[in-house]
Chain A
Amino acid sequence: DTGVSQNPRHKITKRGQNVTFRCDPISEHNRLYWYRQTLGQGPEFLTYFQNEAQLEKSRLLSDRFSAERPKGSFSTLEIQRTEQGDSAMYLCASSFETGPYEQYFGPGTRLTVT
Chain B
Amino acid sequence: AQTVTQSQPEMSVQEAETVTLSCTYDTSENNYYLFWYKQPPSRQMILVIRQEAYKQQNATENRFSVNFQKAAKSFSLKISDSQLGDTAMYFCAFMKVQGGSEKLVFGKGTKLTVNP
Q: Is B47 an interface residue when CB atoms closer than 8 A count as contact?
A: yes
Complex contact B47–A104 (CB within 8 A): yes
User: If the complex has contacts A48-B101, A48-B103, are A101 and B108 also in contact, measured as CB distance less than 8 A?
Assistant: no
Q: Is A103 an interface residue when CB atoms closer than 8 A count as contact?
A: yes
User: If the complex has contacts A104-B47, A107-B43, are A45 and B97 also in contact, measured as CB distance less than 8 A?
Assistant: no
A33-55 CB contacts (< 8 Å) to partner B = 33, 35, 40-45, 48, 50, 55
Shortest A110–chain B CB gap in Å is 10
Q: Is A105 an interface residue when CB atoms closer than 8 A count as contact?
A: yes
- The number of chain B residues with a CB under 8 A from chain A is 25
Q: What per-residue 1/0 map shows which CB atoms of B97-112 lie under 8 Å from chain A?
A: 1001111111111000
B65-115 CB contacts (< 8 Å) to partner A = 91, 93, 95, 97, 100-109
Can you list 13 A-B pairs, Cβ within 8 angstroms, ordered by A?
A31-B102, A42-B107, A42-B108, A43-B91, A43-B104, A56-B100, A91-B45, A95-B102, A100-B33, A101-B97, A102-B35, A103-B104, A105-B46
